[in-house]
Amino acid sequence: MKDLKLKVDEGTCTKCGLCADDCPTRVVIVKPGGYPEVTAGREDQCIACQHCLAVCPSGALSVFGLDPGDSEPWDASKAPSPESMGWLVRNRRSARKYRQENVPAAVINELLDDLQYVPTGGNRRHLRFTVVDDLGAMARLLGRIVTLCEKAVAQGGGSRLAAGVVKYYRRDGHDALFRGAPHLLVVSASREQGTAAQDVSLALAYFELLAASRGLGTCWCGFLSLIEAAVPGVREELGLAPDDTFYSLYFGFPAVRYGRAPQRRGTSQVCRWS
């Protein structure tokens, strides 16, 4: 049985009932004239969303031993405007050329801290973030994957893509896999989680916009997924369990700046149900 450690400061609780009204699984209730409490026998239905803690207007409710005073307060003045969010989405580009310098560790850490707020199915919070945060480490990872590709191709396996990665790397010193990016983010989750693929994609999409807001470039790395599927040892090199689903993107300071957004309106089909 889960121990929710729900505590209520009766001196500040207004008995408004918002915590119970907003509880998605009806774990928290407020009886007439009473204070918030846990519904007997429903503790295990809690999905740890912390809505009860977050919605309380007076900060009177604590759950899981968390102090509501440590939560960031809502400040509407900090929210990006619709115009600025639209601008960011329209002007974000996939970056395939990078400056050969590390993104400061403090910036990467802040991005990963914010990424822990990404939504997941059922609020399961089961994601794993693996980051390569140094140019030298990125070069070593690339070299190891090229070696694995080379071995697989020599044994009659691998794929045309793996053979191409080896060819360009050995002949020209060209990184056809990560495009010379200084960093890589791999997001993974166990396939046993019903929404693993969706949760991984959501996390990468959030990271992409967070990174763009800081002037960083990103590009989703489909090649790595294709190579992992064809080349033995790549999954282990990435530290992935056999039942993990994953996807990745590389990132860093872009070496190219674009002067304008592309023109995309009208290129997608919009259907309205009635």
Instruction: Tell me the pLDDT tens digit for each residue of 263-273.
Output: 999 899 999 99
Domain ranges in the chain?
7-70, 93-252
**CATH class for the region spanning 7-70:** alpha beta
Q: Which two tokens stand for residue 105?
A: 């560790």
CA distance 93 to 88: 10
Cβ-proximal residues to 15 (8 Å cutoff; 6+ apart), any chain:
30, 33, 34, 35
Q: For the residues 10-32, what does the mean pLDDT come to? A: 96
Backbone angles phi, psi at 186, to 5 degrees: -110, 120
DSSP character string of 205-233: HHHHHHHHHTT-EEEE-HHHHHHHHHSTT
Q: Which CATH superfamily is domain 93-252 in?
A: NADH Oxidase (3.40.109.10)
Residue 38's pLDDT band (cuts 50, 70, 90): very high
Q: Please give the pLDDT value at position 2.
A: 84
Examine the pLDDT at 111 and tell me if it is beyond 90: yes
The whole-angstrom separation of Cα 136 and Cα 274 is: 55
Mean pLDDT of all residues in 193-208? 96
How far, CA to CA in Å, does 256 sit from each of 13, 147, 184, 237?
54, 30, 19, 31
What separation, in Å, do the N-terminal and C-terminal C-alpha atoms of the chain show? 45
pLDDT tier, 44 (very low <50, low <70, confident <90, very high otherwise)? very high
pTM: 0.94
What rounded mean pLDDT belongs to the chain?
Answer: 96
Residue 51's pLDDT is 97
Mean pLDDT of 225-247: 96
Q: Which of 163, 132, 176, 138 is nearest to 231 (CA)?
A: 163
Query: Which pLDDT belongs to residue 121?
Result: 95
**Cα 219–chain centre separation:** 14
Quote the percentage of the chain above a pLDDT of 90.
Answer: 97
pLDDT in tens, 46-83: 999 999 999 999 999 999 999 999 999 999 999 999 99
Percent of the chain with pLDDT over 70: 100
